Structure 1
Amino acid sequence: MKCMSKNQLSGTLTMPGSIGAQLQTVDFQENVIVDVAGISNYKKTLLLALNPVCSDKPTVAFCTVQKPNVIAYSTSMAKCNTARGCQSGQDQNPANCGCAYSYNGKMVFRAPSFKDVSSTANFQQLEETLWRLLSLREGAVVLNRIHFNEDNYLQVQVSLFPSTGTLFNVSEVSRIGFLLSNQTYKPPPIFGPYFFIADPYVPFIVAGGKKSKFSTAAVAGIAVAGGVLVIALILVGLFALRQKRRNKELKERSTDPFASWGATQKDSGGAPQLKGARFFSFEELKSCTDNFADSHEIGAGGYGKVYKGTLVDGIRVAIKRAQSGSMQGAPEFKNEIELLSRVHHRNLVSLIGFCFQQGEQMLVYEFVAGGTLRENLVVRGTYLGWKKRLRIALGSARGLAYLHELADPPIIHRDIKSTNILLDENLKAKVADFGLSKLVADTEKGHVSTQVKGTLGYLDPEYYMTQQLSEKSDVYSFGVVMLELVSGRQPIEKGKYVVREVRQAIDPADRDYYGLRAIVDPAIRDAARTPGFRRFVQLAMQCVDESAAARPTMGTVVKEVEAMLLNEPDGEGSNSAGSSATEFDGAGRGAPSHPYSDVEITRSSYGGAGDASDYMPYFEVKPK
């Protein structure tokens, strides 16, 4: 399947009969195609609905609007008596026709090679690989609500059932969630890449401030066992009692790492609701970092230090270890775990696990070897050509668009900056550090009232003035990052704010450098003569518009940067100048009052020395 919908394609469409037989479906819906020629030679599926040609020539074939076909699929369910009733929260297990609590989630496939969701053969392959590769009982899978969504992604609701009994235990849910959320499970090749969004597992849900029957029974069992153990230990002496109680505590923490959550005044609320994150003991992380040796340290900030390590299975990780007295307290720690365990995207730093033991609070991330974007622009001296910078901008924008538009509920990062964008060995961008992020629990409200936090130079002036946080606050911060990619400068250098400097300097009449010769990074000065550069600057200025309503969404930013990359030549530095500057008329504006001119900037006790480019700090900005 080739999807070219919503791409502003225009002119006359020609479909020769020589197109390869493997291309079964071509989707040109919602473009501006005004005429067709030779399409009768194309014998496969062609979608032209919502183009002008379908209005002017309604008799043209292929103009039928394709309505989503939503189906359910299970090879085993037909064997069961569907009339059988189950308790609330339970479903019928197709593997044995009994009732059980299924583990549910949504698989979204971004580029499947087929369009017809009624093909049972494709979904039989998917079902079979799911129960086989996830080590489930044969047939213990139901695929439901199968359809192509509005983004033309194939969306499948998956229900997985336990092999024995009526529910999965904690370790089984953690194992399955990890395999799916981190793409360790590989679907059949025809489905292509995917991401997985898990639903909370019903038996583990905490309702009305009280634990479910499952949790209560488990706690009661532990209490009874503990009482018997104490009686036995008294008989063998005080020393044996202390040793065995210590062993029991370690065992409980290995199966329930948040057993003590809420036991101290620093803790806040109930245990985090996790999806796929592993629990690591303190000893495991101590071992893989050589007792947190200085040679393993790769970063530091007010929260503590970051260490690189290698787990026993060979996976390289970055371990963020909070120091005593850090502002990264229990609420922020819990917030970051909950957020990162529920979001999975190739342009977001993946949370592998955490440690909450022996007074330690550590987060274990995938290791991203290329350092921060800020380091690559300045410190590391990496040559970043214009096309590489566009790819970095696109990857970062895709990660943010996922948080805003696909996470459920949506997530506002609240601290987008060049030091929170990491690059891997191939310069693929990954957004990091969710310690300040906020959930938008009420999406109809459109904003969250919250204490102003962020980093100097990236802070949305409207958010600062109103304390109304929205997705557009992230858009503003991302616009500042785009200007960093253009200029190579930090947002504020020598008292000059890059947004104001660019806004004042833009000159649409300057056909060579758009008025930005003195500002643009010398490494990409030749690119400043291209229409793509001007388009990028214009988009950045739209993102940093002082009115949140005037800023584009991150989804729009993604599409704009994708279009810029498509029009870039293959080689770095081979761009040619000569585009009409009038396309960007109106981009330059008079500079308004400096958004940080009337504030007192204070480094919070989260701390760290240096200026705004320090490794992952944050500032609080307060009115005088």
Structure 2
Amino acid sequence: MKALFIPPLLLMFLASLPAGFCDTNPQDVDALQSLMRGWQNFPSSWQASNDPCGAQWDGITCNNGRVTSMRLSSINLQGTLSNSIGQLSELVYLDLSSNSGLSGLLPTSIGNLKQLTTLILAGCNFTGSIPQELGNLVQLSFLALNSNNFTGRIPASIGLLNNLFWLDLAENQLSGPIPISSTTSPGLDLLAHTKHFHFNKNQLTGTLNGLFSPSMRLEHINLLNMFFTFIRLFDNNQLSGPIPDEIGSITTLQILRLDKNRFTGAVPSNISNLVNLNGLNFADNQLRGTMPDLSALTKLNAIDLSNNSFDPSVLPAWLLTLKALTSVAIASGGLNGELPSRIFTLPELQQVILSNNAFSGTFDMTGNISQQLQRVNLLNNHIVAANITQSYNRTLVLVGNPVCLDPELSSSHFCTIQQDGPIPYVTSVTKCGSTSCSSDQSLDPANCGCAYPYMGTIFFRSPLFADLTNNEHFQQLETSLWTELGLHPGSVFLSDVLFTSDNYLQVKVRMFPPTGTSFNLLEVTRIGFDLSNQAYKPPQGFGPYYFVADPYVHFAGAPDSGKSRIKISTGAVVGIAVACGLVLTALTSWGIFSLLKKRRREELSGRTNPFASWGIAQKDSGGAPQLKGARFFSFDELKTCTNNFAENNEIGSGGYGKVYKGILVDGTSVAIKRAEYGSKQGALEFKNEIELLSRVHHKNLVSLIGFCYEQGEQMLVYEYVSNGTLRQNLQARGIYLDWKKRLRITLGSARGLAYLHELANPPIIHRDVKSTNILLDDNYKAKVADFGLSKLVTDTEKGHVSTQVKGTLGYLDPEYYMTQQLSEKSDVYSFGVVMLEILSGRLPISKGRYIVREFRMAIDANDQDYYGLQGIVDPAIHDAAHTMGFRRFVQLAMECVDESASRRPTMNTVVKEIEAMLQSEGLSSGSSSTVEFERVGSASASHLYGGPVVTPRSNSSVSIAEEPDEPPHPELNHREP
């Protein structure tokens, strides 16, 4: 964005003019100039004149010399919002959305804007409390403060905003109960005209009692009315108590979501009155009693009752009568008996999730299966046989069922987690052929040209379909976007279509300028405003949404205002062109010379540079690892220290290759992981363990000493850890791990993981935490190993990585598996499974039984002796079962394996809890609860350690190994067991 050139003397003259010479009210001029002083990246037109209304500042609209609108969405504003905002007393519209650089407190003076009807601050970084003074904005009809960092309670004064239509406070850190009116205070139950209440993803507590005032009107039945949005968007809080009976009287409800809270008791029986309901989600609560009868809800499209404590039963018969169903989810629902095959014949059905139940007998999936059905998940049931129609070639998961032990079916893709399902929708650009653009531009699907798109993400909070490959749905979305937003036909590109862990539909959107290669500022702020104030209406079935834009920085020149511009003469243009041509020729010649010189230098140094050929291997993604202290070993060195890789030095083998014990010339014992030729993942894992994880160091992480990349070899050299894996020590005869040793092993491995999550910068997610990746030294100190699958969380605000599902069956976070969004809480789930192994000595999956479900079903808080776990706990630690530390250990493990990632503790919390248990046993925990940070040598020589996955060949002391005699457990990254 470039401003018009103004001669300096003229600029000084204009600046010296008194305010009376301006078209803009002096109070508004002062306010805008104060705002400008607190901001960076404001529009350049603001510097060209002291008259915002007369000079038509970008983003500012005036009426009779008063500023009435400020629309500056998505322009990368940075700074704070000055108290002077309150001086713009005639302001009607204020939109600063999607400027993540705006931070600090929201000034109380905003309550002075008595004419304000629209306030949109979504997608910024404001902190502190929401001012009570917002209750003064009696004209306000649209209030969006979502996706910030507000804390504290919801102001009760918001209940005074009688004209409020839209209230969005979602995705903050708000806490406390929802304010309800009393004789001395207003409350949100007074908002009789408000149709949309969005409070999801906060920390709200208390109940919903009293919130459903009879004065609340139910208007626009054919639209998404107030109550549907109001209740639905309370997911991901800490609300408790029973579901209010009053909900059953709101017969116009279309979608009801109360998931991921702490609601208890039975579902109100009058829920059957909600005959207009399209979507129902009660998942991840503590609901009990009989599963509700929903046979009257014939319009239901999607239902999720997963992860509650309903009474055990067979699959409800009413499910088979709901012909409009597209998605059914009752995971961990206590369901048993044979699964009726009729469910797969429902004509609109796209998804069935019935994992972690107790279905048994024969699974029958033959006959008239719905043509829409994309996915069936029966993970971890008791199914012993299966009849599957040959025509079904989409996703079906039978892992964790006895049927997968059948040799005829065990090799089927139905018995593996990682299945190649249909690719989610992406806008097609095949008509553009091989056209490509520079890294900062994108291909416009309308004209196949390269341009700078306006990008962002739309989150649809309640879609009524589950199929992400449906071209018709998403083509309708494309058309509606470019039509309603006034863009060129076909100039919208959709990608990254997925369901988040909150069951929101996420769609990345690129919108291209109608002319040229860039939008101007006015176009960006117009589109941003239309999306943020809900002027854009998506197609039917997508439901309500919110939009978060990426900052736009490639602005085209401001529109021609009719004022003269300085022109360059033809002769000057010719001269500039000739000069540029000469410079370009010189630069090209120099570039060719430098390239030839570099190539010659690389050829001469190829033998001494260990990464001269890095990237030649077809499976490598290219680029030498960024080395920070890991030592380079020659092939001859490692050949010598292993006696030419002698068989008697081999201590393990696996899908990656073999592991050898070696002794370096200085006497140091090492474990050398040598990749086999043709290893499917060798190059990527090799690079990952060196480049990403050679920078940090902790005593509970296996130390990477160095590597070899020479003569076609890929080898990693680790410290030698003599006592094998935790799994071996739990199962091997003659090895006794008492309760105190197990606590210390748990603490050490937790500290290693906490370090990765809390102190590594950026944070590191291990992604393959399991008992075979926890090694024990001579003193039984735990060391976490094997970082071949680890991921860096480079976007710390997002807090997760969208990635292909990999890991090991039995330890896999179900939320990660469902959403493909990896987070630190995925490691916490896996660690919780390890804790259950430590308690029981059992494998995560054994004879079709899943350890998490076994513990969940067995725990009996009234059993004072064994907590209901006498038949599960390892006999070696039965004596510990009577202690309070044992109970707390069990409770902590179950918190770690909670189905909802948001309710799992952090690894640092786990560390503190285990330390407290050790202290209660009268033992030292070894250090403080703060995650430990150690350095070896200088700061530049710090390391992070990984270890491989291999299988021992004998009972000899093993450094880095996996047991050979376990039943086959398919791993998601297709490693050999």
Q: What interval of TM-score do these two structures reach, taking the shorter chain for normalisation? A: 0.5 to 0.7
Which position in structure 1 is the counterpart of 2:873? 520
Which position in structure 2 is the counterpart of 1:313? 666
Deviations 1:457-483 (A, max 9, x none): 000011111111100000000000000
For the Cα contact (< 8 Å) 1:340–1:350, is it kept in 2? Answer: no
Deviations 1:535-579 (A, max 9, x none): 0000000000000000000000000001100111459xxxxxxxx
The one-letter amino acid of 2:905's match is P
SS of 1:489's partner is coil
The one-letter amino acid of 1:472's match is K
For the Cα contact (< 8 Å) 1:413–1:474, is it kept in 2? Answer: yes
> Partners of 2:703 and 2:733 in 1: how far apart?
24
Which position in structure 2 is the counterpart of 1:415? 768
Map 1:574-589 → 2, pairs under 5 A: none
> Partners of 1:507 and 1:292 in 2: how far apart?
53
> Partners of 1:457 and 1:260 in 2: how far apart?
39
> Partners of 2:693 and 2:734 in 1: how far apart?
31
Which of residues 374, 377, 383 is equivalent to 2:736?
Answer: 383
1:434 Cα offset (Å): 0.4
| TM-score, normalisation: structure 2 | 0.34
> Partners of 1:226 and 1:401 in 2: how far apart?
44
For the Cα contact (< 8 Å) 1:505–1:515, is it kept in 2? Answer: yes
Does the C-alpha gap of structure 1 residues 259 and 226 become closer, same or farther in structure 2, counting only changes over 3 Å? Answer: closer
User: Are 1:280 and 2:630 counterparts?
Assistant: no
1:613 Cα offset (Å): 7.1
Map 1:461-472 → 2, pairs under 5 A: 461-472=814-825
Identity of aligned residues (%): 75
For the Cα contact (< 8 Å) 1:346–1:399, is it kept in 2? Answer: yes
SS of 1:545's partner is coil
1:263 Cα offset (Å): 2.5
> Partners of 1:366 and 1:262 in 2: how far apart?
27
Which position in structure 2 is the counterpart of 1:451? 804
> Partners of 1:568 and 1:219 in 2: how far apart?
69
> Partners of 1:441 and 1:486 in 2: how far apart?
35
The one-letter amino acid of 2:672's match is I
* Alignment length (residue pairs): 346
Which position in structure 1 is the counterpart of 2:783? 430
Which position in structure 1 is the counterpart of 2:691? 338
For the Cα contact (< 8 Å) 1:339–1:434, is it kept in 2? Answer: no
Deviations 1:93-117 (A, max 9, x none): xxxxxxxxxxxxxxxxxxxxxxxxx
The one-letter amino acid of 2:683's match is A
For the Cα contact (< 8 Å) 1:463–1:469, is it kept in 2? Answer: yes
1:257 Cα offset (Å): 1.2
The one-letter amino acid of 1:468's match is Q
Which position in structure 2 is the counterpart of 1:547? 900
> Partners of 2:867 and 2:849 in 1: how far apart?
20
Deviations 1:269-317 (A, max 9, x none): 3111111100001110010001111111111111111111010011110
User: Are 1:266 and 2:619 counterparts?
Assistant: yes
Does the C-alpha gap of structure 1 residues 509 and 223 become closer, same or farther in structure 2, counting only changes over 3 Å? Answer: same
Which of residues 573, 597, 600 is equivalent to 1:223?
Answer: 600
Does the C-alpha gap of structure 1 residues 611 and 470 become closer, same or farther in structure 2, counting only changes over 3 Å? Answer: farther
Does the C-alpha gap of structure 1 residues 380 and 408 become closer, same or farther in structure 2, counting only changes over 3 Å? Answer: farther
SS of 2:693's partner is helix
For the Cα contact (< 8 Å) 2:728–2:963, is it kept in 1? Answer: no
> Partners of 2:786 and 2:660 in 1: how far apart?
15
The one-letter amino acid of 1:403's match is L
SS of 1:273's partner is coil
For the Cα contact (< 8 Å) 1:480–1:540, is it kept in 2? Answer: yes
> Partners of 1:529 and 1:487 in 2: how far apart?
15
1:495 Cα offset (Å): 1.0
- Across the aligned residues of Structure 1 and Structure 2, the Cα RMSD in angstroms comes to 2.5
Which has more helix, going by share of residues? 1
> Partners of 2:734 and 2:673 in 1: how far apart?
25
Map 1:296-311 → 2, pairs under 5 A: 296-311=649-664
Which position in structure 2 is the counterpart of 1:398? 751
> Partners of 1:224 and 1:473 in 2: how far apart?
46
Does the C-alpha gap of structure 1 residues 525 and 343 become closer, same or farther in structure 2, counting only changes over 3 Å? Answer: same
Does the C-alpha gap of structure 1 residues 343 and 431 become closer, same or farther in structure 2, counting only changes over 3 Å? Answer: same
> Partners of 2:793 and 2:862 in 1: how far apart?
43
Query: Considering only CA atoms, is the larger Rg found in Structure 1 or Structure 2?
Result: 2
Name structure 2 gaps, 5 residues minimum: 1-589, 925-961
Does the C-alpha gap of structure 1 residues 305 and 226 become closer, same or farther in structure 2, counting only changes over 3 Å? Answer: closer
For the Cα contact (< 8 Å) 2:769–2:827, is it kept in 1? Answer: yes
SS of 1:223's partner is helix
> Partners of 1:325 and 1:298 in 2: how far apart?
21
Name structure 1 gaps, 5 residues minimum: 1-212, 228-247, 572-607
> Partners of 2:916 and 2:778 in 1: how far apart?
25
SS of 1:341's partner is coil
Does the C-alpha gap of structure 1 residues 342 and 379 become closer, same or farther in structure 2, counting only changes over 3 Å? Answer: same
Which position in structure 2 is the counterpart of 1:532? 885
Deviations 1:235-279 (A, max 9, x none): xxxxxxxxxxxxx643x2xxx211111223222131111111000
SS of 1:347's partner is coil
1:523 Cα offset (Å): 0.3
Which of residues 452, 473, 478 is equivalent to 2:831?
Answer: 478
> Partners of 2:814 and 2:773 in 1: how far apart?
20
Does the C-alpha gap of structure 1 residues 312 and 389 become closer, same or farther in structure 2, counting only changes over 3 Å? Answer: same
> Partners of 2:816 and 2:602 in 1: how far apart?
53
Does the C-alpha gap of structure 1 residues 613 and 494 become closer, same or farther in structure 2, counting only changes over 3 Å? Answer: closer
The one-letter amino acid of 2:852's match is V
For the Cα contact (< 8 Å) 1:456–1:612, is it kept in 2? Answer: no
The one-letter amino acid of 2:720's match is F
Which position in structure 2 is the counterpart of 1:490? 843
SS of 1:546's partner is coil
Q: Which is bigger in relative contact order (C-alpha 8 A, separation at least 6)?
A: 1
Does the C-alpha gap of structure 1 residues 494 and 293 become closer, same or farther in structure 2, counting only changes over 3 Å? Answer: same
Does the C-alpha gap of structure 1 residues 345 and 218 become closer, same or farther in structure 2, counting only changes over 3 Å? Answer: farther
Map 1:111-190 → 2, pairs under 5 A: none
User: Are 1:326 and 2:679 counterparts?
Assistant: yes
User: Are 1:440 and 2:793 counterparts?
Assistant: yes
User: Are 1:560 and 2:937 counterparts?
Assistant: no
Deviations 1:132-185 (A, max 9, x none): xxxxxxxxxxxxxxxxxxxxxxxxxxxxxxxxxxxxxxxxxxxxxxxxxxxxxx
For the Cα contact (< 8 Å) 2:656–2:682, is it kept in 1? Answer: no
> Partners of 1:610 and 1:309 in 2: how far apart?
22
For the Cα contact (< 8 Å) 1:476–1:543, is it kept in 2? Answer: yes
Does the C-alpha gap of structure 1 residues 510 and 362 become closer, same or farther in structure 2, counting only changes over 3 Å? Answer: same
The one-letter amino acid of 2:725's match is T
Does the C-alpha gap of structure 1 residues 504 and 312 become closer, same or farther in structure 2, counting only changes over 3 Å? Answer: same
For the Cα contact (< 8 Å) 2:606–2:612, is it kept in 1? Answer: no
For the Cα contact (< 8 Å) 1:490–1:613, is it kept in 2? Answer: no
Which of residues 364, 373, 376 is equivalent to 2:726?
Answer: 373
SS of 2:694's partner is helix
> Partners of 2:702 and 2:967 in 1: how far apart?
20
Does the C-alpha gap of structure 1 residues 401 and 570 become closer, same or farther in structure 2, counting only changes over 3 Å? Answer: closer
SS of 1:445's partner is coil
The one-letter amino acid of 1:492's match is I
> Partners of 1:399 and 1:613 in 2: how far apart?
29
> Partners of 2:875 and 2:846 in 1: how far apart?
17
Which position in structure 2 is the counterpart of 1:139? none
The one-letter amino acid of 1:395's match is G
